[in-house]
Amino acid sequence: MKKTLYIIGLLYCMLLSQTVAGQDETRLLALANIEQQKVSVNELLLHLKGLEGIQLSYSEENIPNREIEIPASNMTVQDLLTLLAEKGGLTIHRVGKNIILKPIKEEKYTVSGFVFDEANGEAMIGATIQIKGTQNGVISNVYGFYSLTLDQGTYVLIVSSVGFEPQEITVDLSKDQTIDVRIKSEAQQLEEVVITAKEVDANVTSNQMGYAQLSSKSIKNVPALMGEVDVIRAIRLLPGVQMTSETSSGFSVRGGSPDQNLILLDEAVVYNPSHLFGFFSTFNNDAVKNVEFYKGNMPVRYGGRLSSLLDIRMKEGNNQRFTLNGGISPISARLTLETPIVKDKGSIIISGRRTYADLLARSTSNKESVDNTTLFFYDLNMKANYTIDENNRIFLSSYAGRDVLSFESPGGDFTTDFRWGNLTTTARWNHVFNKRLFSNTSLIFSDYNYTLGFGAQDFRFDWDSNLRDYTAKIDFDYFLNTKNTISVGASSTLHRFDPGKVKVSGSGENGETRISRSNALEHAIYLGNEHRISNKLQLAYGGRLGIFQNIGEGVHYTFDSEFERTDSTFYKKGEIYNTYTQFEPRMSATYQLSQTSSIKASYARTTQFLHLASNSISGTPLDIWFPSSPNVKPQLADQISGGYFRNFFNNKLEVSVETYYKWLNRQIDFKDHAELLLNEELEGELRVGKAKAYGLELMVKKPEGKLNGWVSFTWSKSERQIDAINNGKAYRSSYDRPINISAVGNYTFNKRVSLSANWVYFDGLPFTTPSGRMYYGNSIVPTYTERNGDRVPSYHRLDLGLTIEQKKNEGRRWKGSWVFSVYNAYGRKNANFISFRTKEGTNETEAIRYTIFRWVPSIAYNFKF
């Protein structure tokens, strides 16, 4: 539109130029009435336009984003035009009375570098680098790298991130430059930010929906269960995220199942994120730097799960000075050590956590039975990084976590031993090819395994299972210009499944049963672009091609329509016997309606090649992952979403409404009374069908201030239809909770004392209630009509937390704080589930409500050194 006006204006001017020439020289020599100051080119042009008799023709889009200094206050219009020509990057043509301005085709230069936290040298993920006075800018990538390519000139860049003081840097771009920026954390009282927005108006301006970024600091503010700060419990306070059960680390995103969430720790898949059967998650918050969470429209770089991406990045370690921090809670002790290897160049972090509930129980009880029970978990996070030169940086990170539950009867006649855990290792190399092209190459290993053993006098039973991934991937970020940032890359993973091996030994029966191992390759290539079309419209678009291959050595069973095995085929090592290829288009758009409001829309397709065999709501450590195969087609989902985002009171209050509709195909459920463990013919237990989910999510958030927090409201539905289940009629998915409300608040009284509270409401989980009873074999057996036809009573809970920092002792580095918290403060008897049983000694049946947690108070002490 503007271009058209410009052309019409130009034609008009040319027609008139002959007649009016000569009469306006005087106007150009008139004073421009402008003070001595710094102004942007655009502002100066607007000023000139407003002067009487001056007609400027230019296209706003093409005006360089730069500032120029007005040297004196007595400048004439002519002087200013000359100034614009010299410093404003414009060519000026006079056509009679009209002055036509066009940008000079200039050399472009690139400024690039890394953004770091000044205090500890950690790379800043998602910091904004904006050109002052404009909307243009870039966001630092997950390694803190940024690159901006601009016309020659002088610019002021504002580097900002929430919780940090914005920093202005003046760049004189007459050649390519490398500038590493170190930004400072804001003063203490502003730290109590809960969920950070990238910049003050990011809610409205960023081309992101269904997205949240959390720092470890903000996760810490959520009142913790038994003093254990937990990423996943914090995630579950976001709209559209449902807890599966109170005792589980699982979560359901927009109607999906827990195995449809991609959970990454430094890029390695964490297959079972739970400790202690799900009471706690595997992520030790002391080692967590940043968490990004996507509810469906995940970036093209990621794939392999349908519903969400939880991308957790570990801290790199302080490269400025040695620090120690830790804490104790009623159930665990934590210690984290960070130290530079070479100041500013490399550092190392080691963080450990171990629970000691069993040790406590032992010291307080003389019972032998307690003496012989071991129950604990530990986590160990380690990471090292080294900056070789300005273009090369290497990282090595590793996580090991394990749960141990064992029991030995007095005299050692009977023992049980159950262990499970994840092990991940990631080696990375960041390489800056040139000022605009950043690459990261990663080699990743991930392992989940469990062992379960029983021993009696002359009998042993050992059960092992494991899943291993070996991944190589390369990702490129190409910062084409201020309007386009391209990401491209490829990855390849070898999955090795060893679903179960059982060994029985002792007198009598001896033997070994092994469920067939299998292997699969999962490859992906992707290409995407974040494209700023104009100041108002931003797009992100791209695609991901996923390829999945079953590879020998393996066995494939053929099933008939009754799910009976009819045949089996063996494949030799290295033989690829099945391939699935799936293209996933993804796109999103943001249109800014005004400075304070925008509308956003997105579409994403996702594919899932690995599936979890779990028949329980909350998941168990014994659940196994199994691959797609000729019998099991990959799961597929399409999601569209739209939203309206608006900020009020100068960005102090953020409001958003999002709505989505999701079609899920080839959803896997299990036949009635399925046997999922140690079953060679597991694929025969699967029943496949469709699902759909839709909902509306409202969020009102006050991100900063003495009082901060948010209130979210979700209304959603999710249902499944599978021919062999519920007589083929649609039924509620197991995680369908239509109404979900979360309110989260933090109040800072002073520098030392802050209070946090959260209240949640969930509609009860659907479950299947009996509709009748039959007698068989002298027993009463329930009968049913509808799967998930009933609901557990609704769930609500208030948690409170009070943090008191110890008085600061000048000159001492030791900083301690006490955290007091109460989980379920008003002690509601929330039903975790309902079950039915026959009253002792009668024929009568009663319903029983099982409550897990009421009033769980705890005290934790944390320190920093």
User: Residue 232 Cβ, how far from other proteins at the closest point, in Å?
Assistant: 17
Question: Which one, 92 or 504, has the nearer CB to other proteins?
Answer: 504
Q: Round to whole Å and give the CA distance between 637 and 691.
A: 9
Nearer to other proteins, 745 or 770 (CB): 770
Nearest to 163 by CA among 133, 130, 200, 129: 200
- Distance of closest approach, residue 257 Cβ to other proteins, in angstroms: 13
Say if residues 145 and 477 touch (Cβ distance below 8 Å). yes
CB 224 to other proteins: min, Å: 18
User: Minimum distance from CB of 568 to other proteins (Å)?
Assistant: 14
Q: At a CB cut-off of 8 Å and minimum separation 6, what does 216 contact?
A: 285, 286, 288, 289, 290, 291, 315
List of E strands, 7-85: 38-40, 55-57, 67-69
On the CB side of 722, CA atoms within 13 Å amount to 23
Q: Which is nearer to other proteins, 123 or 276 (CB)?
A: 276
Half-sphere exposure of 284 (CA within 13 A, CB side): 31
The smaller minimum CB distance to other proteins, of residues 390 and 512, is found at: 512
DSSP string, 314-348: E----SSS-EEEEEE-SSEEEEEEEEEEETTTEEE
Helix axes 41-49, 77-87, angle to 10 degrees: 150
Coil/strand/helix, residue 125 = coil
Looking at the Cβ atoms of 174 and 785, the one nearer to other proteins is 785
Nearer to other proteins, 178 or 616 (CB): 616
| Minimum CB–partner distance for residue 320 and other proteins (Å) | 42
Closest CB to other proteins among 71 and 412?
Answer: 412
Residues in a beta bridge with 444: 426, 471
245 versus 424: smaller Cβ distance to other proteins: 245
Q: Which is nearer to other proteins, 184 or 729 (CB)?
A: 729
> Closest approach of Cβ 773 to other proteins, in Å?
5
What stretch of H or E contains 369?
A: helix 368-371
Place of tokens 């946090």: 756
Q: Which amino acid is at 80?
A: L
* Amino acid identity, position 563: F
Compare residues 58 and 280 and give the one whose CB is closer to other proteins: 280
- State the minimum distance, in angstroms, from the CB of residue 167 to other proteins: 50
CB of 416 to other proteins, least distance (A): 7
For residue 397, CA distances in Å to 264, 322, 391, 526, 539 come to: 13, 19, 20, 25, 34
Residue with tokens 């934590």: 334
Cα angle 554-556-561, degrees, rounded to a multiple of 5: 165
Cα angle vertex 495, ends 468, 502, to 5°?
55
In the complex, the smallest distance separating the C-beta of residue 764 from other proteins, rounded to whole angstroms, is 12
Q: Which residues contact 750 (CB under 8 A, 6 or more apart)?
A: 189
Residue 686 C-beta: closest distance to other proteins, Å: 13
| Closest separation in Å from C-beta 829 to other proteins | 7
The Cα 663–Cα 303 span in angstroms is 17
Of residues 522, 555, 527, the one with CA closest to residue 541: 527
Shortest distance in whole angstroms from residue 230 CB to other proteins: 17
State in angstroms the smallest separation of the CB of 776 from other proteins.
6
Decide: helix, strand or coil at residue 16. Answer: helix
Neighbouring C-beta atoms of residue 727, cutoff 10 Å: 10
Is the peptide bond prior to 810 cis by the omega test (within 30 degrees of 0)? no
The whole-angstrom distance between residue 847's C-alpha and the CA centroid of its chain comes to 40
Measured CA to CA, the distance from residue 187 to residue 165 in angstroms comes to: 9
Q: Which is nearer to other proteins, 332 or 862 (CB)?
A: 332
Instruction: Report the first-to-last Cα separation within the chain, whole angstroms.
Output: 60
Residues 214 and 234: beta-carbon distance below 8 Å: yes
- Residues 456, 462: contact at Cβ < 8 Å? no
Question: What does the DSSP 8-state code read for residue 786?
Answer: S
When the beta carbons of 461 and 818 are compared against other proteins, the nearer one is 461
Q: Phi and psi of 111, rounded to 5°?
A: -110, 130
Least separation in angstroms between residue 316's CB and other proteins is 35
**Cα(665)–Cα(586) distance, integer angstroms:** 17
Residue-wise burial string across 127-140, b where 16 or more C-beta atoms lie within 10 A, e elsewhere: bbbbbbbbebbbbb
Count of all residues that appear for the chain in the document: 865
Nearest 5°: the CA angle 82, 87, 89 is 95
* Pairwise CA distance, residues 330 & 860, whole Å: 7
Q: Which of residues 233 and 586 has its CB atom nearest to other proteins in the complex?
A: 233
Smaller CB distance to other proteins: residue 412 or 585?
412
Nearest approach in angstroms of CB 200 to other proteins is 44
Supply the minimum distance, in Å, between the C-beta of residue 849 and other proteins: 5
**Closer residue to other proteins, CB minimum distance, 116 or 377:** 377
The residues pairing with 472 across neighbouring beta strands, listed in sequence order, are 443, 492
Nearer to other proteins, 750 or 783 (CB): 783
Residue 631 CB, shortest distance to other proteins, in Å, is: 20
**Cβ closest to other proteins, residue 46 vs residue 848:** 848
**Nearer to other proteins (CB atom), residue 119 or residue 502:** 502
| Rounded CA separation 135/535 (Å) | 6
Least distance CB 772 / other proteins (angstroms): 4
**What are the E-state strand segments in 36-107?**
38-40, 55-57, 67-69, 90-95, 98-103
